[in-house]
Structure 1
Amino acid sequence: MLVDFAEIGKGCAKILLLVLNGCCILIAICAITFSIVDINTLKQYGEGRSVGTTVGDVGIMTACLLLVAIAAFGSVGAVKGNVKILYMYIGFLMIMVVLEMMIAIYVSVQRYGLEFRLTEWLRDDFFRNTTDVDEETHAKVWDTLQATYECCGLNGPEDYVAVQKEISLSCCPRAYRARSTYAQEQLYKFCIQGSGYYSIGCEDQILLLLRSDATWLIGVAITCFWFEAAGMLLATWVAKNAIYEATHRKKSSRY
């Protein structure tokens, strides 16, 4: 019995295209989840400073939803061997590649701008003179930042010494999480005596997080590009096989 390598090749191409589309859908879902989390994170920096980056996240989610729809569309075409659907799928992927490149460039530019805006805000806000009215609000903002990012001061705990203030309670994680006032006082005392507070400044910590997020997003865009390029090649292969089969059947029916 002879092995039909052509049939095996066609079957492998369909399976690979389905697996590839499944991976694209999975990546898109992960990117959507990341974008939602990122939007919630950016809200702490204020609407005015993060609005452009938030728009970028919305653009990413929109592109990911489109990618899910296109991948599902291409999977239907691969299963049915429908040439029209497969060529439409290839066309949609080409549009997606261009769209993703535009979104990636926009997000990169906005992230870069956000770094400058945040740096300026952090420096101005930490060292600004506060009155008794806004002292509590100012302290809450920095308590939230320091507890969330596990940092202390602008560039480190020594910044509190520079402004002639005690190191914030939120710089000491165990003391800050304590429920009773007595426990907070004791744990804070041990924290200060043993230098158990966070040693990294909030500016470096936040910028590091923003840069890692930008790197991750660019990595996703590059991964999607290669997946989409492979999807176009496989879809072309499956479509050509379907055309060849249709032509061969027509020739066979004539004889």
Structure 2
Amino acid sequence: MITFVQFASFFIFLVSVETVATVGSAVLNTWVGGGSELRVHFYKNSTVEDEGGHAFWDSLQSENQCCGVDGPQDYAIVHREIPSSCCARAHPLREGGARRHLHASCLSEKSYYMTGCEETLRQKKSFKGKIFITTGVVFVLLEIMCIILAIWMARTIRSERRRLQQNLQAHFET
């Protein structure tokens, strides 16, 4: 049979593990995630003809509504034209005249995405990290409230038991 001390020890262990996980995720969310690997991939993609690399960047830019690593100026640095995946209206279309026309108008009107993918991905990662941290904090607080409630209930039951024992003892003494 599990004693109160074993139960309390296990519960404190769980709260400790959740606290460590929450603090750990906060630390990792702050430290991890430099965009250097994204930057290396971008410049490699710009200098080497690789369909897989182009597909990766097209997908990344269109899904995240971003352009380049730091912004569309990255393409000017490597002497490349801003791709259609940086244009909201041009990229969903298949290759053809309409896509080329929308891409050309996007470039002339400068209506392409202005935010770099590094910043966009950092914001998304930060948001997911905040959700994880908040969930951890909520669970830790909930468990602490449960511990406080359990201690209060144990004290109430103990005092009620003492009162009943005193009443019984007083009843039998008279």
Question: Under TM normalisation by the shorter chain, which class is it?
Answer: 0.7 to 0.9
2:64 equivalent in structure 1: 149
Matched to 2:119, the amino acid is D
Structure 2 Cα separation of the partners of residues 92 and 195 of structure 1: 60
Asked whether the equivalents of residues 19 and 137 of structure 2 are also in contact (C-alpha less than 8 Å), the reply is no
Structure 2 Cα separation of the partners of residues 152 and 141 of structure 1: 13
Alignment TM-score, normalising by the size of structure 2: 0.80
The reply on whether 1:208 has 2:138 as its aligned counterpart is no
What is the deviation of 1:178?
2.6
Long gaps (5+) in structure 1: 1-83
Long gaps (5+) in structure 2: none
Structure 2 Cα separation of the partners of residues 243 and 226 of structure 1: 26
Alignment TM-score, normalising by the size of structure 1: 0.57
Asked whether the equivalents of residues 104 and 218 of structure 1 are also in contact (C-alpha less than 8 Å), the reply is yes
1:205–1:144 CA distance, 2 compared to 1 (3 A): same
What is the deviation of 1:146?
0.9
Matched to 1:121, the amino acid is E
1:106 counterpart (21, 24, 33): 24
Task: Percent identity, please.
Answer: 26
Structure 2 Cα separation of the partners of residues 86 and 172 of structure 1: 63
Aligned length: 167
- CA deviations 1:47-105 (Å, max 9, x no partner) are xxxxxxxxxxxxxxxxxxxxxxxxxxxxxxxxxxxxx67983x4443212210222124
Structure 2 Cα separation of the partners of residues 137 and 226 of structure 1: 47
Question: Which entry has the higher C-alpha Rg, 1 or 2?
Answer: 2
What is the deviation of 1:253?
4.0
Matched to 1:232, the amino acid is I
- CA deviations 1:156-211 (Å, max 9, x no partner) are 11111211111111111221123573332232222122211100001111122222
2:150 equivalent in structure 1: 235
Considering only aligned residues, what root-mean-square deviation do their CA atoms show, in Å? 2.6
The reply on whether 1:125 has 2:41 as its aligned counterpart is yes
1:161–1:250 CA distance, 2 compared to 1 (3 A): same
Structure 2 Cα separation of the partners of residues 242 and 87 of structure 1: 19
Structure 2 Cα separation of the partners of residues 86 and 196 of structure 1: 65
